Amino acid sequence: MAFKEGIDLDSIAYFNERFVPLREATINIMTHAFQYGTGIFEGIRSYWNENEKQMYIFRMKEHYERLSNNAKLLRLELNKSIDELCQLTLELMKKNNPTCDMYIRPNLYKSGIIVGPSLINKNGSNPTGLSICTMPMGEYVDISKGLHVCVSSWTRVEDNAIPARGKIQGSYVNTAFAKTDALLNGFDDSIVLSRDGHVSEGSAMNLFIIRNGKLITTQVADNILEGITRDTIIELAKKELNLETEIRQVDRTELYICDEVFFCGTGAQVSPVTMIDHRPIGTGKVGQLSKQLQEIYFDVVKGKNSKYKKWCAPVF
């Protein structure tokens, strides 16, 4: 089928144990997840390799492993194995037959039609639903130039409140606050801090800085998503550039005096930041290491680097 930018309601989705047109994949307004945000999701990218006429889904297994682990946070009952989820996704992609870069969105959610925030599935009253849909996706942010971002006045939610390690639907209101304020104030995006004032991550992506030739990223204990792209960058930096990553707390003022900054994530991919709070980072231009890592990353995700084909699941 032909695809264009945006959400195609005639595309096929997986919903309630069957494949249906996306326009038919609907829930009741009293669904627990709609009322209380009690669900988790994943964002998975797939990349079209024009030369090979092949679609590669990047690190699909790792995303579903994270979904399965994080289901425990909300007492979600996943009745499918990782392999079954991967096979369902491959089947769905084949049904939609896209020939452009795609985004895959699995949702695991409390599907009970009940009032009350309890996560307990008492006598089957609040079972778990699963949906998977796909859509074309280009660049989440403009990665061809450096981003101008701000440090947000909104702090990242704490692990003991709503854990950031889980992509919990309701917690993305925190992201929406930070992102919206940044856009309204003329910035491209934002960086959020933890409650104690240390750098956490971007509004919806992990963050790296480069200082004196060292690659540094924030620690999981500072309320970040345990990012799969973050893990990918750490491995690529070590194997391709012989560059170890230091994982530690990062102060806000380190952002202003470091040499380079970039975001990374499924949506952001590798997005250089060249200005923070109206202060130029380094030379104020996209840094050399950020650019190198960006180029390496895109070769890997499109299946062009044979050393990392294990991460790329072919669809066709």
- List the catalytic residues: 167
Q: Which residues are CB-neighbours of 171 under 8 A, at least 6 positions away? A: 37, 157, 162, 163, 164
Q: Which residues are CB-neighbours of 216 under 8 A, at least 6 positions away? A: 208, 209, 210, 245, 246, 247, 248, 250, 258
Element (H, E) at 233: helix 228-241
Residue 157 CA to residue 163 CA, distance in Å, equals 7
Residue 114 CA to residue 280 CA, distance in Å, equals 51
Number of H helices, E strands in the chain: 7, 17
Residue 270 CA to residue 291 CA, distance in Å, equals 9
Note the Cα 252 to chain centre separation in Å. 23
Name the DSSP letter for residue 175.
Answer: H
Helix-strand-coil split of the chain, %, nearest 5: 30, 30, 40
Cβ atoms of 158 and 197 closer than 8 Å: no
Which tokens sit at 203?
């509004």
